[in-house]
Amino acid sequence: MTKISKSSTKKTNTALLKKKSPIKISKNYIPKNTEKYMCEKHRAYFKSKLQEWKKEIVKTNNEALYNGSIDDSSVSADIVDQANSYTDKTVEMKAINRQIKLISKIDKALIRIKDNIYGFCTETAEPIGLKRLMARPIAELCIAAQEKHEKEEKVYADD
């Protein structure tokens, strides 16, 4: 039988107490350049921003799908109206598919926050920058790496 000493129990309890509780930030908090880059406040801010964005997208998509299914019941005899309706539905579905891809990118950004690598370029490991993340919270690349990536895309698109 293993004997547990008081000192090992005390160390375990101390380690459990040292686990940090989630950082709470005010609703009007905005990350500042004077704070340490990607400190807990920054991560909490971007996590909250990403989660709200995702909720908004899901709500919008659900409404669009619901409203689109209501319109299915009206079938017109006019072939032009049918073609117009089909085109509208196609455009709507493409928009929803783009939003689904965006949700996937938001989920990846949330995972990067959890893994403490959010805010750093996936290619160079350099900071992406607060201004860029405020404008595009799902950004994975710093500006230099993004420009390089876009130039390579353009070269391959021209071939």
pLDDT tens-digit series, residues 1-48: 445 554 444 444 444 444 456 678 888 899 999 999 999 999 999 999
CATH H-level, domain 35-158: superfamily? DksA, coiled-coil domain (1.20.120.910)
Say what the pTM is: 0.73
119 close to 37: Cβ distance less than 8 angstroms: yes
Closest CA to 124 of 150, 152, 156, 146: 146
CA dist 155 and 159 (Å) reads: 7
Domain positions in the chain are 35-158
pLDDT tens-digit series, residues 111-142: 999 999 999 999 999 999 999 999 999 999 99
* H runs (alpha helix) in 31-142: 40-71, 79-114, 130-135
